[in-house]
């Protein structure tokens, strides 16, 4: 029923249900609650945690444990226990290393009328694509590949001239990745 407590707690609950004396069942239930408290880490206040444990005990016992619960038990139906599954949007991504957002930006870029803005945005997108390539694989990072892929995304409408325009340098890109990873390690 609740895998976080494990098989042994389930077996203890089953044993507790077979006890004939109500006082012994209550003592057994208290020891099960103590065991459950040791298994699960509690971060909330003590009263909420105790209530949660007693509710879990009742649920594990399928609400068949005849004891005097020290808290009000909230019965949870199995149908409502899990939320409905949300369908993940299925969208075909041509180049997974760039993602669908870069593809949609490139599509909007191809439809732009203003040539100056289009050129500036195409350089920004190309630099972002190069960062994505470096995250995917440092070996596959090249300006010509980025320019070729951007042209493919825009059906040839956007062509970046590498002689006139420079993308972010490999050294600068790699040094920013290294400095970011060092900062993350320092925070830990």
CA 37 – CA 35 distance, rounded (Å)? 5
- What is the per-residue pLDDT for 11? 92
181 part of a folded domain: no
Is 113 found in the same domain as 58? no
Same domain, 65 and 127: no
CA distances from 78 to 1, 53, 62 (A): 10, 18, 10
154 compared with 182, residue with greater pLDDT: 154
Statement to judge: residues 14 and 49 lie in one domain: yes
- Is the pLDDT score of 80 beyond 70? no
Share of the chain above pLDDT 70, in %: 86
Domain that holds residue 53: 6-76
Is the domain of 49 the same as that of 109? no
Structure letter (DSSP) for residue 155: T
Number of domains composing the chain: 2
pLDDT tens for each residue of 98-140: 888 888 888 888 888 888 888 888 888 888 888 888 877 777 6
188 found inside a domain:
no
Please, which residues have CB within 8 angstroms of residue 59's CB and are 6 or more apart in sequence?
1, 2, 76
Q: 120 with 71, same domain? A: no
**Could you tell me which residue, 30 or 80, shows the higher pLDDT?**
30
Q: Is the pLDDT of residue 14 over 90?
A: yes
Q: Considering the domain boundaries, does residue 164 fall inside one? A: yes
**Cβ atoms of 153 and 107 closer than 8 Å:** yes
pLDDT band of residue 32 (cuts 50, 70, 90) is very high
Q: How many Å apart are CA 145 and CA 184, to the nearest integer? A: 30
Does residue 23 sit within a domain?
A: yes
The model's pTM: 0.47
């Amino acid at each position: 029923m609740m895998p976080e407590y494990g098989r042994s707690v389930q077996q203890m609950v089953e044993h507790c249900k077979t006890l004939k004396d109500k006082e012994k069942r209550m003592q057994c239930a208290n020891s099960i609650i103590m065991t459950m408290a040791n298994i699960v880490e509690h971060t909330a206040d003590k009263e909420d945690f105790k209530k949660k444990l007693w509710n879990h005990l009742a649920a594990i016992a399928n609400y068949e444990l005849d004891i005097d619960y020290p808290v009000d038990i909230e019965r949870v139906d199995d149908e409502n226990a899990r939320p409905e599954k949300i369908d993940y949007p299925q969208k075909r991504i041509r180049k997974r290393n760039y993602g669908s957002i870069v593809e949609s930006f490139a599509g909007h870029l191809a439809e732009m009328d203003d040539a100056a803005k289009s050129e500036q945005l195409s350089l920004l997108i190309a630099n972002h694509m190069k960062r994505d390539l470096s995250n995917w694989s440092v070996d596959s990072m090249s300006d010509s590949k980025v320019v070729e892929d951007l042209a493919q995304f825009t059906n040839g409408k956007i062509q970046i001239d590498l002689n006139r325009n420079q993308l972010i340098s490999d050294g600068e890109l790699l040094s920013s990745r290294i400095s970011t990873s060092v900062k993350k390690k320092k925070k830990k």
